Amino acid sequence: MAEVTLLTHPGAQLGLWVGASDIGTGCTLSQLSQEKCEPHTHTIAFFSMKLNKNQQKWSTYDTELFSIYSSIRKFKHMLEGRNFTIYTDQKPLIYALEQNPNKCSPRQLGHLDLISQYSTDIRHVQGSESIAADALSRFEIDSITNSPN
């Protein structure tokens, strides 16, 4: 597993694929490259987080925005000073950084402020193009047990 997530090209363009569900958020951080004239992604990190009871009541827009926010916070050491693109299946988010701040809640403004410090390039992708991030957002474990050998 560790070998799969090694940086193949330290200076390569990065992409952050995010997803959110009713129970959690997830993301994959990948390097983008051209291989044989075809776009190619190489995943270098994964992140998943369960939403608390209050967060589970948020709108789809808010949970997806929180997914971007929490993913950037998780990988800030890898994203600071880097050019990267955020990919989401929530189309309204591609306009989030351009909207009137008076139409945002204080929580949304806080999330958008942090996001804008790292990237202003948010793009829409079909859900089928963000399978790993969506799967990570739906992954629920109440407890982990270690079975004896």
Query: Coil, strand or helix: which one is 19?
Result: strand
Report the distance separating Cα 14 and Cα 44, nearest Å.
Answer: 10
- Note if the pTM is more than 0.85: no
**End-to-end CA gap in the chain:** 22
How much of the chain exceeds pLDDT 90, in percent?
38
What's the pLDDT tens digit per position in 20-36? 888 889 898 988 876 65
Q: What average pLDDT score do residues 65-87 get?
A: 93
Q: For residue 137, what is the enclosing H or E element?
A: helix 131-138
